[in-house]
Structure 1
Amino acid sequence: MLTVDYDRLDVRAGQTVLDLGCGEGRHAFEAYRRGAAVVALDWGRDEVATTQQWLGAIAAAGEAPVGASATAVRGDLLHLPVPDASVDRVIASEVLEHVPDDLTAFTEIARVLKPGGRVAVTVPRYGPERVCWALSDAYHANEGGHIRIYREAEVRSRLAEVGLLPGSSHHAHALHAPYWWLKCAVGVDRSPAPVRAYHRLLVWDLTERPWLTRAAEKLLDPVIGKSLVVYATKPW
């Protein structure tokens, strides 16, 4: 399940792609399959190990083009282990809302991008996220949880503040917003029948990609899309 539109980000073979806060690697995998040289970075040891395992499975299955490469590393968004101006594309998906010093993280993104390079930043959208916070403290108030809710203007301001040029934006994952509202309403650690039923719907949508749910999400994304995606470019 990708949040970033790779066509808008213009990810191509031969590029160097840095996936920040990679989690279990969903964005790194797609960049690898497109022929990029991918570095997937996360602070969590388990996340790095899982991502590396799946990157190896992609290679073993022959799903990565000749010339592509990928590795997963443990690292800090405030001190990226990457040289200045060395990366063509950066993906920072659903991670900056966890970082207290987000300005330093944005500064690091700008530092490692090559002139002309692009970044895609995704964060929880203000409206759907505010509902989750209102319904449940357990949703966000925990170690490593969400510490802020961004408005789009704030994301754009941060990008501009570090010298990047904000461009297009969109929303994603509208079908996931009601699921999390339901989870927050009943308790994030509980899974009664309605929650399990909705989860099965999301899994079906993810695996089968039926036209009905795809059309519904496309229609609903501008209204209740759970994620905000903003693209930006580093000037030449």
Structure 2
Amino acid sequence: MLTVDFSRFPLAPGDRVLDLGCGAGRHAFECYRRGARVVALDRNGEEIREVAKWFAAMREAGEAPAGAEATALEGDALALPFEDDSFDAVIVSEVMEHIPDDKGVLAELVRVLRPGGRIAVTVPRYGPEKVCWTLSDAYHEVEGGHIRIYRADELLARIREAGLEPYGTHHAHALHSPYWWLKCAFGVNRDGDEAALPVRAYHKLLVWDIMRKPLVTRLAERALDPVMGKSFVAYATKPHLPAAPVPGAETTVPGTATPETGTERV
């Protein structure tokens, strides 16, 4: 289940991609399949070891094209072990809402992203997330849980303040919002109880949808995403720095005449 839309976030074979807070690796695996040189980084060492095993299995099964590379790395989002301008693209999916210093994370991502590179940021959408917080304290009051809810304009403002230029947004996973509302209403830790039967039934529906991808649910989700999509997704680029002026070079304002010829330079 991908949250990032790769038609809006294109990758070229050989692109170096960082999937920050990769979790179980869903976006990292897709980047690998597309021929990228991907680094999947997470603070959870157990998940990173599992991601590394899946990378190896994909390699053995021939799921990645020639030239693709994959590395799974345990690390800190606020102190990335990479040089400046190291990556062509960065994905940070469902991570920002967990980290107190979200501005610091964005600053690190901007540092390691090359000028002209792209970043995809996804967070829980304000409306569906607010419902979850209202229904259940246990949903978010856990160690490592969600500590904030972003409004779309707030996240975009954070992105701009970091020096990035947003170029598109959308919502995703509308069919997942009711699942989390049910889970919060019946108890986030009661999946095995008889009282949580609706939660288990809806979960089976989601698994069926993910595995089969039937047209009817694809169309339904596409129609519902703008209304109740569980995730908000924003795309941005890191602008190129303006070229430094050459000492002693003539500076001419576009549209003005040069004294030698009287013609305009543009």
Is TM > 0.5 for Structure 1 vs Structure 2? yes
SS of 1:66's equivalent in the other structure is: coil
- Tell me the residue number matched to 2:213: 209
Unaligned 5+ runs, structure 1: none
Candidates 206, 221, 226, aligned match of 1:222:
226
- Tell me the residue number matched to 1:20: 20
- CA distances 1:211-232 after superposition (whole Å, capped 9, x unpaired): 0110100000000000000000
Of 213-222 and 186-195, more deviation after overlay is shown by 186-195
TM-score with structure 1 setting the length: 0.99
Aligned partners of 1:12, 1:45: CA distance in 2, in Å? 29
The Cα of 1:7 is off from its aligned counterpart by 1.6
Aligned partners of 2:119, 2:24: CA distance in 1, in Å? 20
Aligned partners of 2:228, 2:167: CA distance in 1, in Å? 21
More helix by share: 1
Aligned partners of 1:16, 1:135: CA distance in 2, in Å? 41
SS of 1:8's equivalent in the other structure is: coil
1:95-114 to structure 2, matched below 5 A, reads: 95-114=95-114
- Tell me the residue number matched to 2:73: 73
Residue identity opposite 1:51 in structure 2: V
SS of 1:70's equivalent in the other structure is: strand
Residue identity opposite 1:231 in structure 2: Y
SS of 2:77's equivalent in the other structure is: coil
TM-score with structure 2 setting the length: 0.88
Give the paired residue count: 236
- CA distances 1:2-42 after superposition (whole Å, capped 9, x unpaired): 00011211112110000000001000000000000000000
Residue identity opposite 1:79 in structure 2: A
SS of 2:7's equivalent in the other structure is: helix
Aligned partners of 1:15, 1:156: CA distance in 2, in Å? 25
- Tell me the residue number matched to 1:83: 83
- Tell me the residue number matched to 1:141: 141
Aligned partners of 1:215, 1:162: CA distance in 2, in Å? 36
- CA distances 1:58-99 after superposition (whole Å, capped 9, x unpaired): 101000000000010001111111110110000000001000
The Cα of 1:119 is off from its aligned counterpart by 0.2
SS of 2:8's equivalent in the other structure is: helix
Aligned partners of 1:187, 1:12: CA distance in 2, in Å? 44
- Tell me the residue number matched to 1:154: 154
- Tell me the residue number matched to 1:92: 92
The Cα of 1:210 is off from its aligned counterpart by 0.3
Sequence identity percentage: 64
Aligned partners of 2:158, 2:167: CA distance in 1, in Å? 13
SS of 1:17's equivalent in the other structure is: strand
- Tell me the residue number matched to 1:30: 30
The Cα of 1:193 is off from its aligned counterpart by 1.4
Aligned partners of 1:231, 1:178: CA distance in 2, in Å? 26
SS of 1:159's equivalent in the other structure is: helix
- Tell me the residue number matched to 1:46: 46
Unaligned 5+ runs, structure 2: 241-266
Flag the structure with more relative contact order, 1 or 2, with Cα contacts below 8 A and sequence separation at least 6.
Answer: 1
Aligned partners of 2:102, 2:47: CA distance in 1, in Å? 21
Aligned partners of 2:174, 2:213: CA distance in 1, in Å? 14
Aligned partners of 1:100, 1:7: CA distance in 2, in Å? 31
Consecutive aligned runs of 4 or more in structure 1 exceeding 4 Å deviation = none
- Tell me the residue number matched to 2:2: 2
> Which protein is bigger by CA-based radius of gyration?
2
